[in-house]
A and B are shown apart, each in its own frame.
Chain A
């Protein structure tokens, strides 16, 4: 679906924010889940500047570091899409985006157990494969150095 999402992004790129919102309201009224999802994502993407600015502002006030703010932006953008799947009682996308961002800051701010903010580990990492004959000298050196250090 990723490729088709980007094609849809391209087709919606020429539309003004209010036109996208009108399409979104149409999709909500007709309960067209697929269109609704695509348009909610589009509105959330267009709200990212508001989310980012709000997270930085509020994050700074509660002492969040840069990384925690990035996580809050991520959480807020997901939550805004969730909200736009069903909530039509808003008149300003900026207001709803800022409100979701403020809530996300409260959720992401560090807690006592430190579990809330954990840096992402890369999904893949390089694993050094042993190559026959390569690096043996270095290993020997390291072992010798370690054994010397262990000696009293």
Chain B
């Protein structure tokens, strides 16, 4: 099948709400034309609003994982906004350990000596949602944004505190379980590591995590 015909078949299927996996359409053309067809289809996807017909199968592995990831990001929203859940989820997707992130921060801010332990402790508290989002410095958020490939503004807005309480949307009346829904106790707060010689690096780390946006 030539490129034009394959493209029209794909568009017809999309408009009729019976879109197949894209591989099926790419298989219709020769290998040399696949890239061009992929570009054309990407433009079509980008320019049409989502419709109900596009709803993916609930059994699709990517849908399940994306839904779980969004829940993981949002369900622990609190004083650090959704930043803790976002950091944990993106780290998991990338296969990174928190150590990889703290090493990158240590390198970026040239933190040396015992202050490294303090930075690790603060980062752990950040992922646990135990820091005030409004106190995180823009420098720190920018560095984290670079590590995870997002814009700094994304992390600034993600760290805005979320007030507890129900959203205003009406909820349909449904049978409810008798379990407490928000029974998760806040994690126990650990003490900051005591540094024998708190130097300028330790002060820098404190400013990064607790000094406010302009620190």
Min Cβ gap B129→A in Å is 12
Instruction: Determine if A17 and B162 form an interchain contact, defined as CB atoms under 8 angstroms apart.
Output: no
Tell me the smallest distance from the CB of B160 to a CB of chain A, in Å. Answer: 6
Q: For the complex formed, measure the closest distance between the CB of B35 and the CB atoms of chain A, giving whole angstroms.
A: 6
Contact A53 B74 (CB under 8 A): no
List the one stretch of B61-69, B107-115, B187-195, B200-208 in contact with chain A.
B61-69
Q: Are B19 and A85 in contact (CB under 8 A)?
A: no
CB within 8 Å of B: which of A85-138? 85-87, 92-95, 97-99, 102-103, 107-108, 115-118, 120
Per-residue A-contact encoding for B172-196, CB less than 8 Å = 1, 0 else: 1010110001100000000000000
A44–B63 alpha-carbon span in the complex (Å):
11
- Determine if B21 and A115 form an interchain contact, defined as CB atoms under 8 angstroms apart: no
Provide the residues of chain B in CB contact with A74, threshold 8 Å. Answer: 62, 65-66, 69, 89, 93
Question: Which of under 10, 10 to 19, 20 to 34, or 35 or more describes the interface residues of A?
Answer: 35 or more
A86 touches B74 (CB 8 A): no
Question: Which residues of B are found within 8 Å of A34, using beta-carbon distances?
Answer: 162-163, 165, 167
Residues of A within 8 A of B90 (CB): 75, 78
Chain B 76-125 interface residues, beta-carbon cutoff 8 Å to A? 76-77, 81-82, 86, 89-90, 92-96, 100
**Taking the nearest CB of chain A, how far is it from the CB of B93, in angstroms?**
5
Known contacts A5-B74, A70-B61, A93-B50; A77 and B66 CB within 8 A of each other: yes
Are A38 and B42 interface neighbours, CB within 8 A? no
Contacts of B100 in A (CB 8 A): 115
> Which residues, 46 to 102 on A, are CB-close (under 8 Å) to B?
46-58, 60-61, 69-71, 73-75, 77-79, 81-83, 85-87, 92-95, 97-99, 102
The 8 Å CB contact of A57, one of B41, B62, B63, B153, is B41
B92 proximity list for chain A (CB < 8 A): 120
CB pair B154 A85 closer than 8 Å = yes
Question: Which residues in A have their C-beta under 8 angstroms from that of B168?
Answer: 32, 35
Cα of A4 to Cα of B182 in the assembled complex, Å: 10
Q: Which of B129-185 touch A at CB < 8 Å?
A: 149-151, 153-158, 160-163, 165-172, 174, 176-177, 181-182
Complex Cα spacing A65 to B71, Å: 25
Check if A10 is an interface residue, CB within 8 A of chain B: yes
Asked whether any CB of chain B lies closer than 8 Å to the CB of A22, the reply is no
**8 CB < 8 A contacts A-B:** A7-B171, A57-B22, A58-B42, A73-B66, A77-B66, A86-B156, A87-B153, A93-B50
What 6 A-B pairs come out closest when comparing CB atoms? A118-B95, A98-B46, A49-B54, A82-B154, A86-B157, A77-B66
Q: Assuming A17-B50, A93-B49, A94-B49, what are 19 further A-B pairs, CB within 8 angstroms? A: A1-B182, A3-B181, A11-B169, A35-B168, A45-B70, A46-B50, A50-B46, A50-B54, A52-B63, A56-B23, A57-B26, A58-B42, A60-B23, A74-B89, A75-B94, A83-B154, A86-B157, A94-B50, A120-B92
